[in-house]
Structure 1
Amino acid sequence: MTAGLSFLALLAIGAPIAFAMIATALILIVNQGNTALLQGFGQQLFAGIESYSLLSLPLFILLGELMGVGGIGRRLLVLAQALIWPVRAGLAYVNLLANLMMASILGSTVAQLTVMTRLAVPEMERAGYPRDLATTVTAAGGLLAPVLPPSMNLIVYAAIAQVPVGDLFIASVIPGLALAASFALVIGWLGWRHALPRVPSQPLPARLRAAADALPALVVPAIAIGSIIGGIATPTEAAAVASVAAIVVGGPIYGDLRPRDLPAAFVRTAVTSGAVLYLVAAAQVLAWVLTFGNLPAQAAAWVQDMAATPLMFLILLNLLLLLLGTVLEPIPAIILTAPVLLPISTGVYGIDPLAFGVILCANLALGLLSPPVGAGLFTASLLTGVRAERLSWLLMPFFAAMLAVLAGMSIVAAFQAGA
C-alpha cells in the first residue's frame, strides 16, 4: 500500500514515470525486508533492455525520422489523393488513407500527428473543411500507428512477453485494417451530416504521375513490412535495410534529405530511444520486485474470483486499460501491466499472447487522445490551435468505432481460448 501511494504521489508531482517506478521498487524492497535484492538491482536494470527484440526499436524510430524529413510523407499524401475517386468527404478519406500509409512507416502516434497535421489540415481547410473537423479526422487517423506494424508499442510488448516481433506484427494487420475500415464508416457519416465537399476529380495522367512520383516512397515500407511478413528478414534487419533505403530515396532520388539533416535525425532518434529504453529498464526492475512480493499470484487469484471465463476476463481487462490509458502513456502502461496480466491471461484463461498483445496495444492507444494526459490530443491541439475540449467531443464517434473493434477482437480471442 505504501509503495502504491508513493508511486501515485510521485506521478502527481510530475516526477518522470521511470523515476517513479524505480523509487517504488526501492520502497517495496525496504518494506518487504528483501534488502538482498539491492545487490542485483543494477543488473536487473540492464537485463530489462538486454533483449534482441528491442534492437529494432531505435532503427524503426530512425526510419520514421528519415522518412519524415525525406519528403516521403508529402508524396504519400498526394498518392492517397490520387487514389480516391470524387466522393463526399473525399479529402477526409484521403487523410485516412495517408494515415494508413504513414502508420506502416512511423509507428508512433505523436510522430504521425506531427507530420499529418502539417500536411493534411491546411489542405483540407483550403478545400472548405472546418479546421476542427479536419484536425479531428487527422488525430483519429493517428490511432492506426500503435496498432499497425511497426508500432513501437508492439515492439515493447514483444520484448516483455518474449514473443517474436514478426509474429506480433502479422497478428496486428487484420485488427489494424478493421480499425481503418471502421473509421472510414465514421467519415462517411460525418460527410453526410456536415455536407463535406467532394474531392476534385483528377484526370488519369495526373493520377499516374502521382503514382510514379510516390513509387520510390512505397518501396521503403514495402521493404520494412514485406520482408518481415515474408520471413525474409528479422524486424531488426528489416528496419536497418529500410533506413538505408529511406536515405537513398529521400536523398539522391527525391533530393529532400540533405547530408546536414542526418545529424539532427540521429540525435532525435537517440533521445527518443533512450527515453523508451529507460522506461523498459525501470519497469523490469519493478516487475522483478513485485514478483518477489508475490503480487502476480495475488492478482491472478483476485481476477479468477471476478472473471470465470476468458470473455469476462477480457471485458474487465479492457475496462481497466481504458481507465489506465487516461493517465499513463501507452508504453509505460504496457510495461507496467503486461508482466502482471500476461501470465494470468495465458496461464489461467488460455488466451493467445499475440491476441492479448494486440488488444493491449490497441486499447491503450485510446489514451493518446483522451484527457487528462493525451499526448496525441494535445499535440494536435497545439499544432492546429483547436481546443483540446472541442477535439475530445468531436472524436467521440471514432472512439465508439474503436471500442466496437476492440469488442470484436476480444470476442474472437475469447472464442479461440474456449470461452
Structure 2
Amino acid sequence: MTIAIIIGLLFVLFFLRVPIAFSILAVSLLYVFALSTLPPTVGIQRMISGVDSFVLLALPLFVLAGNLMNSGGMTRRMVNAALAYVGHVRGGLAQTNIGASVLMSGVSGSAVADASALGSMMIPAMRRAGYSREYSSALTASSAVIGPLVPPSIPMVVIATAASLGVGDMFLAGAVPGLLVAVALAVATFFLSRRYAWPVEPRTRFPELVKRTVVAAPALLAPAIIVVGIVGGIFTPTEAGAAVCVYALVIGALLYRQFGRNIWSVFVESASASVSVLFIIAAAAAFGYVLTVEQVPLHLVELLEPLYATPWLFLLLINVVLLVLGAFMEGLAVIILLTPVLMPAVMAAGIDPIHFATIVVFNLMIGTITPPLGVVMYITNRIAGVTVGQFIKANAPYFLVLGIMLALVTYVPAVSTWLPSLF
C-alpha cells in the first residue's frame, strides 16, 4: 500500500511538470520522514552514496571534453572532413550528418550534446542546401541516438555503475549496435534521397580532401584515446575522460587556436550540465533505496517468473516498458531506478546482463526523440523551427529503422556481447 502511494504521488508530480529530479527526491524524502521508520538522515546518506563513485567522475569529464571540442573547432573540422568524403553523392549532406554523429559520439557520449552541437551546424547548412526544415530536424535527432551507443557513453557509465558491470565491457557492447544503427540510417537516407531528389554537393577535389583529412586528424584521434586507453588497460574511464579533456584543450588552444574569452563559459556550461546529471543520479539513488526497502525487486521477480521460460516475450515486455518510460522520463533517472529492480529478474531469466544493459540504453535513447517529452526532439525542433507533428511525420521512416535495429539488438545477443567477449 505504501509503495502504491509513493508511485501514485510520483506520477502526480510528473503530471504537474515538476522536474524529474525534484519529483523523485520529494517522494523519497516523504517516505523516509513520514511513511517509514527509517532514520531521517538515511535519505541524504543514500543520495551521497549514489554519486560517491570514482567511475561517475568520468561523467563531468566527458561533458567537458565534448564542449571543449565544440568550442575548440574540432567538431567543425570533423564535419568538414565527413562532407568532403560523401558530400558529392545525392543526399550527401544528410549522409554527412550521420557520419558527423558517429565521429562526435566518440567524444561527448551524450545524445543531447550531439544534437545541440551538430544541430546548430548541420540544420542551417541543410536548410541552405534545400532540405526541408522537418527533415533536417528529424535526421539530426535520429542520428543523435548513435551518440550514447558508440563509446564513450554517459548512459553506459551510469548503467555499468548501477548494475555493477565493467565500464569497458559496456563501451564495447554499444560499439557494434551504434555502428549498425549508423549504417541503417545511411541506407534509409540513400533511398529517401532518391525518392525526394535531394541536392548534391560539389565533389571535393583530391588535394582539398587530403587537406581536410589532415586538418581533422587531431580531432579524430580523440575517440581513439578514450577507447584504446580503456580497453587496453592504460586508463580507467575517469582517467580517460581527464586525458581527452587535456588533449582537446591543447589541440583547440595551440593547434586550431580557437579558444579565446569563451573558454571560461565552456567550463561553466560543463559544470552546470554535470551538476544536473549528478543531481538526477543522487535523487534516483535515494528512490532506488525506497524501492529496495519495500522489496519491489523481489516482488517483480516473482511477478515475472512465468515469463522466464519464454525469454523473447520477457524481452518484448521490457522493451515496451522502457519505450514508454523513455518517452516520459529522463533516461538516466530510468536507468538508476529500474536497473537494480530489473536485474534480478534478468539474471533469473538467463539473459546476459551486458546484453540487457545495451537494450536499456538503446530504448531510452529512442525515448529522447519520442513525444511527449523527448528532449533531443525538442532541441532539433527549436533549431529548425518545426512543430512536434511535423517532426513525427518527417521522422516516420527513421522511427521504423530504429525499431528494426532495436529488434535486432534485442533478439540477437551476439550483436552486443560479441565484442566484449573478445576482450
TM-score range, shorter chain: over 0.9
What does 1:241-256 align with in structure 2 at a 5 Å threshold?
241-256=243-258
Seen in structure 2, the aligned counterparts of structure 1 residues 213 and 313 have a Cα distance that, compared at 3 Å, is same
Matched length: 414
Cα deviation digits, residues 41-71 of structure 1 (max 9, x gap): 2221111111122011110011011011111
Q: Is 2:237 the partner of 1:235?
A: yes
Q: Is 2:25 the partner of 1:46?
A: no
SS at match of 1:380: helix
Q: Tell me how far 1:306 sits from its aligned partner.
A: 4.5
Q: Is 2:403 the partner of 1:403?
A: yes
Q: Structure 2 CA distance, aligned partners of 1:287 and 1:128?
A: 49
Q: Is 2:277 the partner of 1:302?
A: no
Q: Is the 8 A contact 2:29 2:43 kept in 1?
A: no
Q: Is the 8 A contact 1:381 1:388 kept in 2?
A: yes
Q: Tell me how far 1:134 sits from its aligned partner.
A: 2.2
Sequence identity (%): 35
Seen in structure 2, the aligned counterparts of structure 1 residues 10 and 192 have a Cα distance that, compared at 3 Å, is same
Q: Structure 2 CA distance, aligned partners of 1:414 and 1:317?
A: 19
Unaligned runs of 5+ in 2: 418-423
- Among 123, 135, 138, the residue aligned to 1:136: 138
Q: Structure 1 CA distance, aligned partners of 2:110 and 2:362?
A: 13
Cα deviation digits, residues 331-386 of structure 1 (max 9, x gap): 1111121111122112x112222111111011111111111111111111111212
Q: Structure 2 CA distance, aligned partners of 1:336 and 1:36?
A: 20
Q: Is 2:115 the partner of 1:126?
A: no
1:336 aligns with 337
Cα deviation digits, residues 55-88 of structure 1 (max 9, x gap): 1111001101101111111101100011226322
Cα deviation digits, residues 12-50 of structure 1 (max 9, x gap): 222222222122223444676x31343422221111111
2:22 aligns with 19
TM-score (norm 2): 0.93
Cα deviation digits, residues 300-359 of structure 1 (max 9, x gap): 11112345322221110001111111111211111121111122112x112222111111
Deviates more, 1:95-104 or 1:261-270: 261-270
Q: Structure 2 CA distance, aligned partners of 1:244 and 1:80?
A: 25
Q: Structure 1 CA distance, aligned partners of 2:181 and 2:321?
A: 21
Q: Is the 8 A contact 2:20 2:330 kept in 1?
A: no
2:412 aligns with 412
What does 1:203-352 align with in structure 2 at a 5 Å threshold?
203-258=205-260, 260-306=261-307, 308-346=309-347, 348-352=348-352
2:78 aligns with 76
Q: Tell me how far 1:249 sits from its aligned partner.
A: 0.8
SS at match of 1:286: helix
Q: Structure 1 CA distance, aligned partners of 2:141 and 2:87?
A: 23
Q: Structure 2 CA distance, aligned partners of 1:87 and 1:415?
A: 30
Q: Structure 2 CA distance, aligned partners of 1:416 and 1:143?
A: 16
Q: Tell me how far 1:416 sits from its aligned partner.
A: 10
Q: Tell me how far 1:230 sits from its aligned partner.
A: 2.7
Q: CA RMSD in A?
A: 1.9
TM-score (norm 1): 0.94
What does 1:166-185 align with in structure 2 at a 5 Å threshold?
166-185=168-187
Cα deviation digits, residues 165-218 of structure 1 (max 9, x gap): 111101110010111111111101211211112232111101001101111211
SS at match of 2:351: coil
SS at match of 1:48: helix
Q: Which runs of 4+ in 1 moved over 4 A?
A: 29-32, 414-417
Q: Is the 8 A contact 1:310 1:414 kept in 2?
A: no
Seen in structure 2, the aligned counterparts of structure 1 residues 85 and 371 have a Cα distance that, compared at 3 Å, is closer
SS at match of 1:373: coil
Q: Is the 8 A contact 2:155 2:332 kept in 1?
A: yes
Seen in structure 2, the aligned counterparts of structure 1 residues 384 and 415 have a Cα distance that, compared at 3 Å, is closer
Cα deviation digits, residues 370-405 of structure 1 (max 9, x gap): 111111111111112122211122111111111111
